[in-house]
A and B are shown apart, each in its own frame.
Chain A
């Protein structure tokens, strides 16, 4: 049969067609045998595709909301989704797409909160003063102000210094200082941010630059005066802040005093952590004043430069205070004067639960003073005097005091050069107290 005069015709063998239909393997999990999806499905798909222009979410039923949360693309701009899409799978998908490690238990099991907090943190951490536009931050704040409860910022970038400008500065005289433009802020200015975050409860700040490599300059790791002023103003304006931690940012006495001045009479501050800074006696005096004036429950001043006068000021505040639960003066330079002052304060104070005086320079007399307090105090639960050279006398005094005490469940006297016997006696007493406490707690379960 010659086919030349006729156009080429496809050879459709019926057997091949059957084989083709059998080979279809659905990779789309939503593939249904029914070729025509229901109208509600079509509507939901069109909602998902056009979400940017017309965000429809509130009016849907919970099942439809789940459907949209699973299908909506994470690249839809936040301005649209932030206030419309409620907490759920969509934010989980956004988080997992953006970051590798997502542990939602740190964020109270709320994916939306995790996403916004980490997003906010990354914006602030990558903010370069005078280069990044503050408007980006403000726009973000207006969207996520309701969902950010904690900000854990681990780096704050200083402004970029161009080397040419530096040379000019060196060669010119004082007169040119007024002409050369100093950057408007040394680090990110929190005063634009904190009063707009209405649910912020915890703020952790570290003034440092990660991965600076060979460009290491000490001023990347310091908080300057201007930063302190803006931060102080911002803290005063943030009315819901409960926890403030500023670590390792070279806070010295002046900065500390300025910050404390603005934190006096703060309505909701409960925890203050200035550990790993350079606070000295004047700063400690300011903190003592803060103790008397606010409802602080936790005060952590470990690894600072506080000596006896500062310790005396804090002890004075402690004796009058009735809200503080945890005080840590670890890794400071207290000596016996300060220790004795604190011991005397403990005689009057009956709310403190945990006291940490480890790694100071206190010796035997301090132990004697503390043991007097221990013998009659029955609220203190944990005391830590490790890495001080208490000596035998101090050890014996402590042993005697502990035999009268019934509330201390944790007494740490490692590396204090006391006798082994003392240590064993004290451990026995502590174990007794622990079992006493468990018995007190136990009947509640029955």
Chain B
């Protein structure tokens, strides 16, 4: 444009007006040219623009297509991966679901089976119960039938019996009626016969029969009169008898009256005597009571006396026993003393003999006291003293032994006395102490004693033996 402007400027040298006009024209032309050129340019640009637009659109399309394909490719790979993963997942889930479905099915089967089992059991037990019920019903029915039958049988038998009875009665009645009829007929026949006979007799011989009849009548009349007389006599006889009887009756009635009076008197007497008896009985009872009271007193007194007696007897017996014991003891002692004396005498004799044998001046005296005194008197003579001392010691020893024995014996005597007393006490039964325990106790205790007594007696024997030795 700057060229055109230059041209425009260069062409300006002509007339200025022309130039101006020319310039104007040229400007106009140029303007028009420019305009045209602009238009063409514009058109051209437009076309180009359009083309460019189209191209760009195409290119854009191409670009997008290619971009899409690329995207698709990449996306497809991704998607395939996803799909596979998802498909695996879904398969797993499907398997899981299948498994659960199967297990549910199995459990359903199990449950159905168990339910069926339970139902069957229930059915069986119900059937059993039904059978039981039927059995019971049949049993009850049987019983009912049986009782019905029994009743009906009973009723039938009763009916039969009654029928039989009634028939029998009827038969009896018939028989009786028959009998009666027969008798009736017989009697009727007889009557008829008699009537006929009489009628015939009457008809057969009218006259003779009349005379006969008259005669018969007379005879009968006579007979009747005779009979009447007889009867009258009999009657008179009977009346006299009756009168006698009446008189007798009167007499007897009088007697009866008198007897009655006597009876009454006797009854009165009886009543009186009864009263007397009662009074006497009461007296007797009183007497008896007194007597019994007296008897009781007497018995009491006798019992008291008896008790006293027994007590006195017991005391006496005890005293006796004591006395006997004492006496026996005294006797024993005396005896012992005597024995001792005899022994001492014998010893003295022996001593004398010994002394005589040994040419002793001493003579062993019987009294042990002499022995005691003598050693004090003659202490000077030695050999004789020794002998004397020996004899004295021996005598003293003997004396001491004898003392010991005496003491032993006395002790044993005392014990024996105790035993005897106890024994005697046991044997006597006192009335005052009749307890149940004591007599039996004593009875039981007695058997233990003989052993002891044996021991005691044996000891006595032993002592005696030792003394003699």
Contacts and interface: CB of A to CB of B under 8 A. Distances in A.
Given A303-B123, A445-B149, A248 B117 contact: yes
A417 to B, nearest CB: 23
Contacts of A303: 120, 123
B124 A1 contact: no
Contact of A276 (B124, B149, B438): B124
A276 B120 contact: yes
A248 B124 contact: yes
A303 B124 CA distance: 10
A276 B444 contact: no
A17 to B, nearest CB: 14
Interface string A195-220: 00000000000000000000000100
Contacts of B448: 5-6
B443 to A, nearest CB: 11
A9 interface: yes
A118 B162 CA distance: 56
Nearest to A12: B440
Contact of A9 (B123, B438, B444): B444
A1 B120 contact: no
Contacts of A5: 448
Label chain B's interface by main secondary structure.
helix
Contact of A6 (B117, B121, B438, B445): B445
Interface in B132-162: 149
Contacts of B123: 276, 303
A281 B117 CA distance: 21
B1 interface: no
A5 B419 CA distance: 14
Nearest to A1: B441
Contacts of A9: 444
Contact of A248 (B121, B149, B442, B445): B121
B120 A221 contact: no
B445 A247 contact: no
B147 to A, nearest CB: 14
A369 to B, nearest CB: 28
A218 B149 CA distance: 55
A337 B333 CA distance: 146
A328 to B, nearest CB: 11
Contacts of A248: 117, 120-121, 124
Nearest to A247: B124
A207 to B, nearest CB: 12
Contacts of A1: 438, 441-442
A445 B445 CA distance: 93
Contacts of B438: 1
B145 to A, nearest CB: 9
A221 B117 contact: yes
Contacts of A276: 120, 123-124
Interface string B445-456: 100100000000
A208 B448 CA distance: 85
Contacts of A3: 441
Nearest to A445: B149
A308 B163 CA distance: 68
Nearest to B445: A6
Contacts of B444: 6, 9
A218 B123 CA distance: 20
Interface in B106-128: 113, 117, 120-121, 123-124
Nearest to B110: A218
A6 B113 CA distance: 93
A382 B434 CA distance: 101
Interface string A275-317: 0100000000000000000000000000100000000000000
A303 B120 CA distance: 8
Nearest to B444: A9
A445 B156 CA distance: 13
Nearest to A13: B436
A95 B96 CA distance: 60
Contacts of B124: 247-248, 276
A317 to B, nearest CB: 25
A225 B372 CA distance: 136
Contacts of A445: 149
Contacts of A6: 444-445, 448
B119 to A, nearest CB: 9
A117 to B, nearest CB: 18
A5 B441 CA distance: 13
Nearest to B149: A445
Interface string B429-469: 00000000010011011001000000000000000000000
Contacts of A218: 113
A407 B149 CA distance: 26
A13 to B, nearest CB: 8
Nearest to B153: A445
Contacts of A247: 124
Interface string A363-388: 00000000000000000000000000
A32 to B, nearest CB: 35
Interface string A1-42: 101011001000000000000000000000000000000000
A356 B149 CA distance: 34
A248 B444 CA distance: 88
A221 B442 CA distance: 90
Nearest to B441: A1
17 contacts: A1-B438, A1-B441, A1-B442, A3-B441, A5-B448, A6-B444, A6-B445, A6-B448, A9-B444, A218-B113, A221-B117, A247-B124, A248-B117, A248-B120, A276-B124, A303-B123, A445-B149
Interface of A: 1, 3, 5-6, 9, 218, 221, 247-248, 276, 303, 445
Interface of B: 113, 117, 120-121, 123-124, 149, 438, 441-442, 444-445, 448
The 9 lowest CB-CB distance pairs between A and B, nearest first, are: A276-B120, A1-B441, A248-B120, A9-B444, A303-B120, A6-B448, A6-B445, A276-B124, A1-B438
Given A1-B441, A1-B442, A276-B124, 5 more contacts: A1-B438, A9-B444, A221-B117, A276-B120, A276-B123
